[in-house]
Amino acid sequence: MVLFLVGGIGTKVVLRLANNSYQFRTYSSCLKMKKGLVLGVYETDNKDEVVLTPSASKYNELVNGKLLANINLSGPKIKKLKTRIFWGLDDGEHACVAVVGLGKRNLGINLLEEIDEKRENIRSAVAAGCSALDAVDIKEIDVEPMGDAEAAAEGSILSTWIFQEFKNKSKQKILPNVNLYGTEGVKDWQLGKIKADAQNWARRLADSPANLMTPTIFSQTVSSVLSALGIQVIIHDKAWAEEKKMGSFLSVSRGSIEPPKFLEIHYKGASPSDMPIAFVGKGVTFDAGGISLKSAGSMDEMRADMGGAACVVATIKAAAELKLNVNIVGLIPLTENLPSGSATKPGDIVTAMNGKTIIVDNTDAEGRLILADALCYAAEFKPKFTLDIATLTGAIAIALGCAATGVFSSSSELWETLRGAGTITGDRVWRMPLWQAYNNRMTKHVKSADLNNMPKAKGAGSCVAAGFLREFASPDAPWLHLDIAGVMGPNIDDVSYLQSGMAGRPVRTLIQFLQILSA
């Protein structure tokens, strides 16, 4: 008697007998081992040919050819990202096996799509396999390397995580525990796990409700996690920011009773003589727009307006775990942006750390105000380059959707490195223009100050915001600005290995970027 495949998620499963007749058995009787396995199969032009991955071929030998026999019995070949579950193959360890379609073999980088199709197919395929096993109550899952154990780990670990820690314990879903099958690719699997875990931490920080992720709580949470890894974390208070003359940053915090914080993080992975890389993250833990109040629709998503800050700390965490040969200074201004009797009013003038004055015509354009002072402070560390990352403008989502992060860069060399990193991770970036014309929109025709935080003319919203920040970035070092507003939120595009909730993008791309630089 050979257990063939699941007929459904209900109480019965279908068994095919040696004489080609069928029987039903109770679902529970097939779950003695409570463990599942994800294996891969390739597409070919020959409709009658089944090509197993090397790991799947070894497994097929282990079970005396029953895997391949059951695939052939199950009908048309398994197409890309599709899954079939087979039960009772008697390997002595797994109750069932999910076979996933990886698409064609020998894929590589698609130059038009700017993506490594092999890696991305693996991430999506293992996600589909893990989801199928999870749906039939398999919570211990082994995943074969699929030809790239790092990508397999990323797809598995990202797809099986959801944000649910504030639900009643009795209603929380039991999340699958995913591990590598076999001994091949152990180091690569661990690398992928570190990257995926970092992204999941960023997702958790971004999805936490604003009352439970205030500037103070964010600072304490990050300090606890990073300090345990030997990373220096300094939590600056309002008085320190006042001493540094961060009037632009502090103007945003005036409407909230939550005290602002400024996180300063030092990861020292290289020689003390090596200049650091400065990472600056926007940390608005809730953005109601201030006096320029946002509309009520989807305002709750503004709990994730500190997505840039979350990406910075998650990237530094992974850098420490990977022991990357770089020095990093992480700088994160943290505040809420709320309306109140003490809030900054449209038309107010504030002074940034470098002495430039700013008319705040729109208090909902607050991200650029807090980043301005952080960029000024970053220059004090004389960095190799500065990279800021922020959920800055809705305009970038209009331009790129959620397919890519918008990048503005004064260095073509750094841009190309970052673009290559995005191609590898599948979390892509796209270069936007950093032209003087956009700076002029923020500086010219401003009568009573040096800059306006919102131009009078409409259009090019993400570009003029970058032009504003350019006025505060150090001219002595290259600078990159990443606008992640389009990739911040719930997965509504084709990233099949991210479930609903905040995305934590592009953490893996930033880690890959640092890996390339440190090498």
| DSSP states along 183-247 | STTHHHHHHHHHHHHHHHHHHHHHHS-GGGS-HHHHHHHHHHHHHTTT-EEEEE-HHHHHHTT-H
CA–CA separation, 474 and 459 (whole Å): 26
- What pLDDT, on a 0 to 100 scale, did the predictor assign at position 17? 37
Q: Render pLDDT for 293-330 as a digit per residue (tens, 0 to 9).
A: 999 988 999 999 999 999 999 999 999 999 999 999 99
CATH architecture of 196-518: 3-Layer(aba) Sandwich (3.40)
Q: Render pLDDT for 248-282 as a digit per residue (tens, 0 to 9).
A: 999 999 999 999 999 999 999 999 999 999 999 99
pLDDT band at 49 (very low <50, low <70, confident <90, very high): confident
DSSP H or E run through 132: helix 117-135
- What pLDDT, on a 0 to 100 scale, did the predictor assign at position 78? 92
pLDDT band at 27 (very low <50, low <70, confident <90, very high): very low
Task: Extract the tokens encoding 340.
Answer: 């109140």
- What pLDDT, on a 0 to 100 scale, did the predictor assign at position 48? 76
Q: Render pLDDT for 425-463 as a digit per residue (tens, 0 to 9).
A: 999 999 999 999 999 999 998 989 999 999 988 999 999
For the segment 4-28, the average pLDDT, to the nearest whole number, is 41
Greatest alpha-carbon pair distance for the chain in Å reads 90
- What pLDDT, on a 0 to 100 scale, did the predictor assign at position 298? 87
pLDDT band at 33 (very low <50, low <70, confident <90, very high): low
The superfamily CATH assigns to domain 2-184 is Leucine Aminopeptidase, subunit E, domain 1 (3.40.220.10)
Lowest mean pLDDT among 21-30, 327-336, 455-464, 490-499: 21-30
Among 77, 84, 204, 368, the active-site one is 368
Q: How many CB atoms neighbour CB 354 within 10 A?
A: 17
Query: What is the pLDDT of the chain when averaged over all its residues?
Result: 92
- What pLDDT, on a 0 to 100 scale, did the predictor assign at position 4? 42
Residue type, 135: A
The domains of the chain are located at: 2-184, 196-518
CA–CA separation, 343 and 357 (whole Å): 18
| pTM across the whole model | 0.93
428 labelled catalytic = no
Q: Are 1 and 15 in contact (CB under 8 A)?
A: yes
For the segment 335-351, the average pLDDT, to the nearest whole number, is 98
Among 244, 294, 356, 384, the active-site one is 294
pLDDT band at 77 (very low <50, low <70, confident <90, very high): confident
For the segment 57-64, the average pLDDT, to the nearest whole number, is 96
pLDDT band at 493 (very low <50, low <70, confident <90, very high): low
Q: Render pLDDT for 461-484 as a digit per residue (tens, 0 to 9).
A: 999 999 999 999 999 999 999 999
Task: Extract the tokens encoding 397.
Answer: 């989502």
Q: Render pLDDT for 151-204 as a digit per residue (tens, 0 to 9).
A: 999 999 999 999 999 999 999 999 999 999 999 999 999 999 999 999 999 999
Q: Render pLDDT for 378-401 as a digit per residue (tens, 0 to 9).
A: 999 999 999 999 999 999 999 999
Residue 62 burial (CB < 10 Å; 0-12/13-18/19+)?
middle
